[in-house]
Each structure stands twice: as C-alpha cells, then as structure tokens.
Amino acid sequence: MFQSENILEISSLTKAFGGLVAIFDLDFTVSRGIIKAIIGPNGAGKTTLFNLISGVLSSDTGDIIFNGQPVTKYKPHQLAERGISRTFQTVELFSEMTVLQNVMIGRHIRTRKGVLSVGLKLPASRREERAIFEKARYYLDFVGLEEKADQEAGNLPLGQQKLLEIARALATEPKLLLLDEPAAGLNETETEMAAQLFKVIRDEGITIILVEHDMNLVMNVAEEVLVLDYGRKIADDKPEVVRSDPEVINAYLGVDIEYA
C-alpha cells in the first residue's frame, strides 16, 4: 500500500469563533513516526488546533489530510477509526468508572459486537469481551498503572490520570496521538518518565503531536517544533533552530523560552 511520507498535512486551515480568529490560514505537515511539539503563548490556538484535527470542531476553511486521505469534515468517531486519538488539557476521564473500564472504552472503536450479541452473550461476544479485557490490561501495564486497575478513575492523582488518558488513547491503536499538555501538573521525576514513555510510543511507530509548555520536555523529546502565535505559524523547524528564532523569542515577550 502507498504510504505518504507525511502522516498529517494541513493547509490554509482557519477557524473563528464569532469575531475571534483562533486559527488563521495555517499550513504545516507532520512526518510519519516523529514527535512534533506545538508551542506558543496561552491563547495561541493550540487546543483549538487539536480540536480541529480530532474532529471535535470543524474548520471554517482549509484542508486536513491524514494518512494520505482528506478528512476535513470527518466526525470524531470516524477519525478515531482511521487512527487519530488524543488526550485532553483538562483531563476528561470517565471518572465514575474504574481505571480498567476507562481503557476498555478505548477498545470500543476496534470492536464490533452489537446489542443483541452482547445481550445474549453469544460465544463470539464473550471472546471479544475477553480480548477487550486483555488488551486493556496490556495498555494499562504499558503506562504502569496495572496495580490501579480496579480503582475509580476519578480518585487517581493527577499525574496518573494523565497516564490513564494516554493508555486509553493508545487502546484505540492510533497512528497519530495528540497529547494536550501531558506534563502540566507533573513533578520533575514524573515528567522525566513521561518523556521516556513518549519515546517508547514513538518507537512503536505512533506519530505524536504534543502541545506543551514545559520547554525542557519539548527540547528533550521533540524532533520538530511548530510555534503558534494568535493562531498563526511563526516558526516550524528543528528545536535548536526554533529556540534561537528572534520572532519566537519576541512572541514570548523576550523571556528566554527555556524558562517560559
């Protein structure tokens, strides 16, 4: 099968909320198998961009091509099926369900059995349920939360909730993983472990786009950095090039971005 070199190609993407333009005429690409970071001051449009890519919002104009296929007006569940999964800046877990059940929901899009089949507990649906259980365990294990499996998700500390979101997203078997500020609220050791985890995920062949404020983390893991300011691209290059870009430094109001 033909595989384009870029997993994601975005061209002239625009999204406005009333008079407020959140994303304006944005072009960029993401190569297959890398970690790309998106940075920018608050209100730069990073989360809006994630909402557009994952189909939660639909763009006003512009095209999104995912894995060689135009997906501009796709709904979230169609995108999930094609291999885009994400986490949220404000953790969005199913907090009254157990940790394991949260990851099991991640298997939803990869399983098929309908109401009748599960209601009658047909052998095929039993097999599927067992497979869902085992896969969910595997991803829980992958992020190191196996011991918390039966706890209520809402009772986990923030750092573990973020990991759980990643496990849930991985359970959908994505080709592209969107992580929205995965290190916010984590301490230094946790951040270091998260960085390792991201690299392992990338090495499994999953492309990652990362919105992050922690510059150390970005510089540590990202191969490319896209800088947004007021919904426009002001830089898109290797981390070491971006960090010395005068326009980028200016956007951060002259603060040395390493400590921003």
Q: Which residues bind another protein (CB under 8 A)?
A: 54-56, 75-77, 79-81, 85-86, 88, 92-97, 101, 104-109, 111, 113-115, 118-121, 125, 128-129, 132, 168, 172
Between 39 and 93, CB nearer to another protein: 93
Q: Is residue 23 within 8 Å of 12, Cβ to Cβ? A: no
Q: How many CA atoms lie within 13 A of 187 on its CB side?
A: 3
Between 135 and 233, CB nearer to another protein: 135
Q: Measured from the CB of residue 35, what is the shortest distance to another protein in angstroms?
A: 20
Q: Is residue 233 within 8 Å of 38, Cβ to Cβ? A: no
Residue 163 to residue 144: CA distance in whole angstroms: 8
Between 11 and 111, CB nearer to another protein: 111
Q: Measured from the CB of residue 255, what is the shortest distance to another protein in angstroms?
A: 31
* Residue 197, Cβ density class (10 Å: 0-12 exposed, 13-18 middle, ≥19 buried): middle
Between 28 and 88, CB nearer to another protein: 88
Q: Measured from the CB of residue 50, what is the shortest distance to another protein in angstroms?
A: 10
Between 170 and 218, CB nearer to another protein: 170
Q: Measured from the CB of residue 149, what is the shortest distance to another protein in angstroms?
A: 15
Q: Measured from the CB of residue 117, what is the shortest distance to another protein in angstroms?
A: 9
* Residue 219, Cβ density class (10 Å: 0-12 exposed, 13-18 middle, ≥19 buried): middle
With the CA atoms of 47, 52, 57 and 58 taken in that order, what torsion angle do they form, in degrees rounded to the nearest 10?
A: 150
Which residues are registered as beta bridge partners of 210? 37, 179
